[in-house]
Structure 1
Amino acid sequence: MTEPAAPPESPTKPLAMLTGALLLAIVVLVMLHGFGLDAGTGTLAALLSVAVLALLAPQVRRSRHVFLAISVLLAGYCLTTLPAPGEVLWPALDRTSFIIAFFCALASLQHVAGRSPAIARAAAFLANQPPGRRYLALGFGTQVFALMLSYGALSLLGTMARHSAEREPDPAVRALRTRRMLQGAQCGFSASLCWSPLAFATVITTALVPGAELGSVVLYGLGSALIIVIVGWLVDRRLKGTLPAGTVVPQRDQVAAHDVKSLRPLGWLLTAVALPAIVVDVLWGVQPSRTVLGLVPLIAAVWVLIETAAGRKLAELAARGRAYAFCDLPSYRSELVLLATAGFIGTAAGALLAGWLAGSGFDLGGIPARVLLVLPILLVPLAGQIGLNPILFVSLFAQLLPSPDALGVSTISVVLALTSGWTLTAPTSPFTASVMIISRLGGVTPWEVAVKWNGVFVALAAVALALWVQLVA
């Protein structure tokens, strides 16, 4: 049965204010817990997360109720059958509260960046590059935009790319250019999942693999991202020659060299996020994923102050803060429920399944390590074809894998295998937000984007990433 297309009605103002306040409290508590203040902060954050999900449950669509129901059933099973249910439930609730806090912290940056004239100028610069370098500009540039805007990067760059392509008078050229630009943006977004310290793929996978460090994941993940963009560019070269014979492609105006300056805010942002997180990690041993919970909202606040005229700075900051806390955050109810329950189910079910397999004598360690490293690259995208969220599947699957030491491979190779599978799910699952955004902008079905547009690209990228993982093993 198909769900209604209309989104659920907005919550009443008092409920939105309560939800926003609870979400902000979760961010603060999870951050304090990450900095070592354990005086009940983790427990309180977990309890508030349950309260938030209970508040949001009546406001979301039926598909989200399935995840909520599975979460309740899992919790009930643990409480009624396990001798020590807390050993399964508390780690799952801790993962849930972290996911909620991380998402809400990133939303503060999205709130500011999505309204920033500087970001709009940078996006226009990328979307209007000449044909010879347009795909690579979008493939690399979208990765930085995704750092700030997540899926909003696809909407922003995709919309500008479509408007740029609409200037083409020939329908065949216009359709092909639209497709190539949208695929370039989606390739870049997918590549960002390999390395971005603000992406769930890297942050959660790093937490799941024993001994993994986010700094190494980012460094090697940049190698994975480079591989993905190069493969996408090579596929695009082939696509470029598919126009009907005799079609004349008009020459585009060259982008002025001084327009490159519009990309400077992106560089400043990367520096503002990376340097403090590295310093805090080196000096105090706090994980960068915990540092950004306070760092990203602070950067967003400074950004507002910089872009606001003198005399209105504090008033504008207060207005933006209220809009973010009591309008933006409650409006993300569907995303919050999906991500939080997927994390809870994957963590709890993975722990249960690992216990059952250990009790039965089954051991994945009997499978050759080199084969195990390839499995996530294949299984995570395949699971996405039936709508399984990567957070859920990776959280579950990672707990079944033996430790890297037991496998005799490097820790980073296991992380890269998991993030590679997660990355390839983004452009190939018709249920992901990235595919749905591109299908809407391209005027085609999600299935056509996932299979016809991205099928060859994902298959070749999977082979290349599998070789890369083997190389660093």
Structure 2
Amino acid sequence: MRRLAATLALLCVVAGAIAQPLGGGPWAGLAAAAAMALYLLLEGWGCRRNGRIILALAVVATAATLIWHPEPLSLLARAGTAAAAIIGLFTALGFLREAAESSVLVQECGQLLVRQPPGRRYLALTLGSHVISLVLNFGVLPLLGTMVVKGNTLDAAGGDARIVAIRAQRMLSAMLRGFAVMTVWSPLSVSFAVTVAVVPGLAWQTLLPVQIVLSVLLLLLGLALDRRAFPPRAQPLAPPLAPAAVGPQDWRPAWAMAALVAAVVAGSVLVAELSGVRLVNGAMMVVPPAALIWLWVQQRHMGAVLAGLWRKLLVSLPGFRDEVAMLGGAMFVGTIATGFLSAERIGAVVEGLGLPPLLLVILLAWAVMALAQIGVSQIVTTTLLGGALIHVVPPLVLASALMGAWALSACSTPVGAAVLTVARIGAVPVRVVAHDWNSRYVLTGAMVLAAWLAVLNGGLSLFG
């Protein structure tokens, strides 16, 4: 009974988050927030340590608001509605993950990527992880990671344990970076939803193409650093990870996956334009039907699709407790913090430093990355600091800084879900993944991000 109630509660969060911009207004947002609170009452007790900490902070923030804020109910309603919107997007994406995890197409793509020859394996894995993560999100890491570990055996490396370790580092780093860079631009990502909500006056039609360019730069940076660290001539020859297929490789699964991802993103854009809502709301409306169509293509029987999906949701949605606690709780706490520390106050303090605006936004991006290292969620820092510089730099520059910093920190924070997942798959300490494998990429990426922001700001000043 509890599992059924929790599942229905999360589905109500999605419904309320979709209904709010379509005419449901504040009441739909409040209903979504109430449904999220009910879910956490049912499942929050089962969260792991980080989730419990965020929930405890949310309780403290609620108490502080009731005691000290002059308009407590208004602030709590705003924070709850913002948190529910993020969880609505995350839950909607869960439908797509259910379809992807049972898809032969996804498995074929994974096998194709892992079996590439050494010269193009990094590029194939980072691009493949980038594309598949659009539909699988975190699910791409265990999917490709499991294939990497299974294929990366001592026999496949010609008995050389050093080659096994190098291959693991290169392939797992490639897929981690590909996943993380997805958050730079994807309208299906939490970072996109949070940033568009936090930075006022920001049109997603302008943000999307700019961020795609930044994502290409960061992906190419990863490739360049991999080639520099592991030049082909420095590695002894070894057998491939898996026996090569007879004849040319069949790339049809990769093209089919790319087409599917493009259809979901294009559908989200189209619905957002036709409905006059934000892109993240368009994504919430498109993803569940897209998942049903994908499942129908796999099974060709809608009754079986609906029954099977319902059984899966009864298991998976209650299992989202940690994500709901951490994502929703962080958004709630960050929004509450803005009620006490307004963007105007923070902006006045920042301006008092007397630093050039461009330097301020670069330092802000680096601060997001640094605070993530000690466990401060990017949702909190983006929500709290995002509006502080809005009157100092163009919204597009600010949003690009925040989303770029979010992606880079996802590769390096030792308490982040992505790094923890890769470390568990690779059977190495978390700090090996965060620091030994990715510190150079993240530090160089921070320099690239700073240069990108300078070019973007200069271009807007010149042509704006």
User: TM-score with structure 2 length normalisation?
Assistant: 0.92
The alpha carbon displacement at 1:331 in A equals: 1.0
In the TM superposition, 1:140-179 aligns within 5 A as 140-166=127-153, 167-169=156-158, 170-179=160-169
Alignment of 1:287-326 (within 5 A): 287-309=278-300, 313-326=301-314
Instruction: Please tell me whether the aligned partners of residues 372 and 413 of structure 2 are also in contact (alpha carbons under 8 angstroms).
Output: yes
Alignment correspondent of 1:199? 189
Query: Using the alignment, how far apart are the partners of 1:171 and 1:32 within structure 2?
Result: 55
- Cα shift at 1:56: 1.9
Q: Does 1:463 align with 2:453?
A: no
Q: 2 CA distance for matches of 1:95 and 1:425?
A: 23
What is the alpha-carbon distance in structure 2 between the residues aligned to residue 397 and residue 297 of structure 1?
A: 33
Shift of 1:241: 4.0
Please say if residues 69 and 340 of structure 2, whose CA atoms lie closer than 8 Å, have aligned partners that are also in contact.
Answer: no
Q: Tell me which of 213, 236, 254 is aligned to 1:223.
A: 213
Alignment partner of 1:273 out of 236, 240, 264: 264
Tell me which of 78, 81, 87 is aligned to 1:94: 81
Task: Determine the structure 1 residue equivalent to 2:461.
Answer: none
Distance 1:69 1:250, change over 3 A: closer
Q: In the TM superposition, what is the alpha-carbon distance from 1:250 to its structure 2 partner?
A: 4.2
- Which amino acid in structure 1 is aligned with residue 415 of structure 2? F
2:446 is aligned with 1:450:
no
Deviation of 1:155 after TM superposition, in Å, equals 1.1
Shift of 1:123: 1.2
CA RMSD of aligned residues (A): 2.2
> Which residue in 1 is equivalent to 2:395?
411
- 1:88, 1:352 within 8 Å by CA — same for their partners in 2? no
Gaps of 5+ in 1: 1-13
Letter in 2 for 1:216: T
1:189 corresponds to: 179
Distance 1:328 1:248 in 2: 44
Question: 1:383 maps to what in 2?
Answer: 371
Letter of the structure 2 residue corresponding to residue 440 of structure 1: R
Question: C-alpha distance in 1, partners of 2:415/2:336?
Answer: 23
* 1:46 is the counterpart of 2:33: yes
Listed as ranges, the matches of 1:227-238 within 5 Å are: 227-238=217-228
Residues 78, 453 of structure 1: CA spacing in aligned structure 2 closer, same or farther, 3 A cutoff?
Answer: same
Shift of 1:258: 4.9
| TM-score relative to the length of structure 1 | 0.90
Cα separation, 2, equivalents of 1:77 and 1:363: 25
Secondary structure of the residue aligned to 2:177 is helix
Distance 1:267 1:234 in 2: 24
Deviation of 1:279 after TM superposition, in Å, equals: 2.1
What amino acid is the match of 1:272? A
Cα 1:242/1:119, change in 2 over 3 Å: closer
Asked whether 1:439 is paired with 2:423, we answer yes
Equivalent in the alignment of 2:251? 260
Measured after TM superposition, the shift of residue 211 of structure 1 is 1.4
Q: Which residue of 1 aligns with 2:315?
A: 327
C-alpha offsets along residues 36-70 of structure 1, whole Å, 9 cap, x if unaligned? 32272122112222222222222223432222222
2-structure distance, mates of 1:319, 1:137: 36
Query: 1:394 maps to what in 2?
Result: 382
Displacement of 1:126 after TM fit? 1.1
Gaps of 5+ in 2: 458-464
**What letter is aligned with 1:398?**
G
Asked whether the equivalents of residues 410 and 472 of structure 1 are also in contact (C-alpha less than 8 Å), the reply is no
Asked if 1:180 corresponds to 2:167, the answer is: no
Between the two proteins, the alignment pairs up a number of residues equal to 451
